[in-house]
């Protein structure tokens, strides 16, 4: 008794391979196969490259936020003072910082004094934001204390100020220069309030990785900031760093309870939530658009298979006559289409991974060809185009490409399997 061969037997692969290697007389089929292959390759490459840049941009953005800003900020809702003004200062800031620091998951809690002033050196001026912080606490800020492009000595922080590299470029400042800080809310006299002007030596210049921070941030010793802003004995807020800033829900509630009834908390997600949500929406839209490109590329496989089925009608009739089942014929043409999708996907994955790995030299070459100025950090917020290759992104691109390639291949393969051998050989 004859036995039915198992699915995807060796002879089915041999027939499919012969059909893929079209003769010159069937050049149209070969051309369509190459078009399908190139289309799948480019679509998968574009999908992986976009996902890598998306992941890199989010990681870089979040990393620079967490590296130089508070994960959680504790502030006071305020009380109305004798003059009828709302006073939001923290009078018991040391005790408050100690209570918050004792919360499980909190790494550091530092009192801050903040204010906006004008920085001046010779004929140059720049608006800056001053953060009054202790020397011990500033060494716990990764984006400042661990800056790769830092200049100066942070151990001398008590002797002067630390400024961002963007401010240094704007004012033409180097380590050792003295800059003036000018506050309009200065000394109160009988003739009104006169501006307060103090000169400080620049002992440290940092690069946090975000243009808006490097361009505006100045750190001043805590006691000096209290005196400069007339904030003796009080602080404006408590800067809190936590172990896991990506998961803040539980620790933020614990911090709020430790802070007391008149205090509020503001997390880094609250401050940057709108931008992160915009990134998420953009990511989803880009994935859908590029998925459509992959689908369009996969549809070329259908065109190639339809032409192949048309050209191989006589062969299909002969194969059916000598005993091949509909399933075997269907699998032969399914292999033809799926093989194109697999090879195109592999090539696209290789190109996409190489792009993500070597994005810096590629971007430098593009910037050189365009004459420079392609990337403006004042608009993007970071200094370079980042890319982060993630296995989940690569697997999602591979799954989408192979899934669509296999799915669209089924229909022309079924058409080939259902071809009537009598009709195929009628005029032969």
Residue 348: per-residue pLDDT: 92
How far apart (Å, rounded) are the C-alpha atoms in residues 135 and 202? Answer: 14
- Stretch 162-184: mean pLDDT: 90
Residue 205: per-residue pLDDT: 92
User: What does the pLDDT look like over 223-279, one tens digit per residue?
Assistant: 999 988 888 888 999 999 988 888 887 888 888 888 887 888 888 888 877 777 887
Residue 367: per-residue pLDDT: 73
User: What does the pLDDT look like over 319-331, one tens digit per residue?
Assistant: 666 666 767 777 7
Q: Within 13 Å, how many C-alpha atoms sit on residue 312's CB side?
A: 30
CB-CB contact of 127 with 216 (8 Å): yes
**Is the predicted pLDDT of residue 25 greater than 50, yes or no?**
no
How far apart (Å, rounded) are the C-alpha atoms in residues 290 and 131? Answer: 44
- Stretch 180-199: mean pLDDT: 75
**Is the predicted pLDDT of residue 403 greater than 70, yes or no?**
yes
**Is the predicted pLDDT of residue 92 greater than 90, yes or no?**
no
Q: What is the band of 383 on the pLDDT scale with cuts at 50, 70, 90?
A: low
User: What does the pLDDT look like over 107-165, one tens digit per residue?
Assistant: 889 999 998 999 998 888 999 999 999 989 898 888 888 877 888 888 899 989 999 98
- Stretch 41-68: mean pLDDT: 84
- Answering whether pTM is above 0.95, one says no
**Is the predicted pLDDT of residue 99 greater than 60, yes or no?**
yes
Residue 313: per-residue pLDDT: 65
**Which tokens in the block code for residue 369?**
């060809």
**Is the predicted pLDDT of residue 60 greater than 70, yes or no?**
yes
From first CA to last CA, the distance across the chain in angstroms is: 32
Q: What is the band of 190 on the pLDDT scale with cuts at 50, 70, 90?
A: low
How far apart (Å, rounded) are the C-alpha atoms in residues 399 and 13? Answer: 23
Residue 239: per-residue pLDDT: 92
3-state secondary structure the chain: CCCCCCCCCHHHHHHHHHHHCCCHHHHHHHHHHHHHHHHHHHHHHHHHHHHHHHHHHHHHHHHHHHHHCCCEEEEECCEECCCCCEECCECCHHHHHHHHHCCCCEEEEEEEEEEEEEEEECCEEEEEEEEEECHHHHCCCHHHHCCCCCEECHHHHHHCEEEEHHHHHHHCCCCCCEEEEEEEEEEEECCEEEEEEEEEEEEEEECCCEHHHHCCEEEEEHHHHHHHCCCCCCECEEEEEECCCCCCHHHHHHHHHHHCCCEEEEEHHHHHHHHHHHHHHHHHHHHHHHHHHHHHHHHHHHHHHHHHHHHCHHHHHHHHHCCCCHHHHHHHHHHHHHHHHHHHHHHHHHHHHHHHHCHHHHHHHHHHHCCCCCCCHHHHCECCCCCCCCHHHHHHHHHHHHHHHHHHHHHHHHHHHCCCHHHHCCCC
CB-CB contact of 268 with 144 (8 Å): no
**Which tokens in the block code for residue 360?**
């810096």
User: What does the pLDDT look like over 268-317, one tens digit per residue?
Assistant: 888 877 777 887 888 888 888 888 888 888 888 777 777 777 766 666 66
Mean of per-residue pLDDT scores for the chain: 81
Share of the chain above pLDDT 70, in %: 81
């Amino acid at each position: 008794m004859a036995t039915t061969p198992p699915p995807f037997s060796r002879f089915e692969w041999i027939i499919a391979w012969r059909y893929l290697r079209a003769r010159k007389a069937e050049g149209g089929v070969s051309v369509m196969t190459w078009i399908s292959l190139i289309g799948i390759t480019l679509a998968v490459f574009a999908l992986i490259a976009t996902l890598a840049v998306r992941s890199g941009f989010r990681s870089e953005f979040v990393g620079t936020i967490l590296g130089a800003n508070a994960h959680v900020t504790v502030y006071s809702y305020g009380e109305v003072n004798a003059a009828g003004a709302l006073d939001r200062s923290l009078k018991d800031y040391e005790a408050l910082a100690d209570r918050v620091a004792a919360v499980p998951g909190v790494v550091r809690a530092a009192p801050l004094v903040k204010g906006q002033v004008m920085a001046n050196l010779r004929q140059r001026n720049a608006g800056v934001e001053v953060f009054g912080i202790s020397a011990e606490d500033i060494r716990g800020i990764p984006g400042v204390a661990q800056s790769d492009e830092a200049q100066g000595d942070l151990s001398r922080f008590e002797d002067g100020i630390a400024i961002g590299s963007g401010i240094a470029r704007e004012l033409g400042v180097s380590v050792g220069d003295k800059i003036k800080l000018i506050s309009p809310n200065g000394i109160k006299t009988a003739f009104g309030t006169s501006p307060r002007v103090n000169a400080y030596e620049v002992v440290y210049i940092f690069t946090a990785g975000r243009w808006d921070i490097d361009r505006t941030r100045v750190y001043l010793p805590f006691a000096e900031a209290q005196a400069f802003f007339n904030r003796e004995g009080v602080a404006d807020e408590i800067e809190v760093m936590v172990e896991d800033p990506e998961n803040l829900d539980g620790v933020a509630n614990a911090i709020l309870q430790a802070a007391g009834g008149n205090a509020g908390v503001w997390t880094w997600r609250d401050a940057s939530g709108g931008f992160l949500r915009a990134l998420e929406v953009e990511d989803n839209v880009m994935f859908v658009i590029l998925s459509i490109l992959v689908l369009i590329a996969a549809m070329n496989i259908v065109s190639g298979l339809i032409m192949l089925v048309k050209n191989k009608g006589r062969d299909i009739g002969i194969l059916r006559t000598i005993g091949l089942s509909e399933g075997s014929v269907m699998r032969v043409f399914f292999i033809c289409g799926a093989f194109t999708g697999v090879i195109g996907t592999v090539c696209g994955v290789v190109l996409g991974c190489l792009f993500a790995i070597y994005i810096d030299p590629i971007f430098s070459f593009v910037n050189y060809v365009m004459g420079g100025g392609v990337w403006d950090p004042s608009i993007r917020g970071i200094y370079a185009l980042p890319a982060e290759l993630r296995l989940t992104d690569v697997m999602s691109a591979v799954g989408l490409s192979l899934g669509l390639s296999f799915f669209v291949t089924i229909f022309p393969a079924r058409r080939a399997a259902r071809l009537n051998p009598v009709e195929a050989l009628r005029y032969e």
